[in-house]
Structure 1
Amino acid sequence: MASVVIYTRQFCGYCSAAKKLLETKGVKFLEHDATYAPDIRQQMIERSNGGTTFPQIFINNAHVGGCDDLHALERAGKLDAMLAA
């Protein structure tokens, strides 16, 4: 199973939707809540090459993007292969 990391913040509908998709697939992920942690937010921005919106998602250290990007991978039939790697 792939290593999945997701940077989130509280009260973020996109964060909830991304986590729900991963959970329905049975994917375990490491969540970094940046709500009150500017250092975690800065780490996310650097790791995602400037991504400032939430969530920011990484699969096997590859930046996937946000919630819309994750769902686009699912619709294209590419997400399962990434998660299986």
Structure 2
Amino acid sequence: MRLSEAEKGPYHKMREVSALRTQFQCEYRLYLKQKLGDTHSLASVIGTELHSRVSIQSYKLNVEKTENRLAPLVIIILILIAGFVWIFG
């Protein structure tokens, strides 16, 4: 529940508990990173691997879709060129 400015009274400069909790989590992560360095758990390594696989598969799928979209355009251009040559050739 949030208090209005009038309800806060002299405590209007106090921070909300959720903001303090978030700040503590960020500071603790920074502390652990400084203390232990960059450590990767098994779940983190597996997750990174899965994301890279999905990214590669998505890229391949997008390339195939792009190639499939260009085929009708190339056919239309060839038909227009053939028609132009037939009429004016």
Q: TM-score per shorter chain, which class?
A: under 0.3
User: TM-score, normalising length from structure 2?
Assistant: 0.20
RCO higher in structure (CA 8 A, sep ≥6): 1
Q: Which has the higher strand share?
A: 1
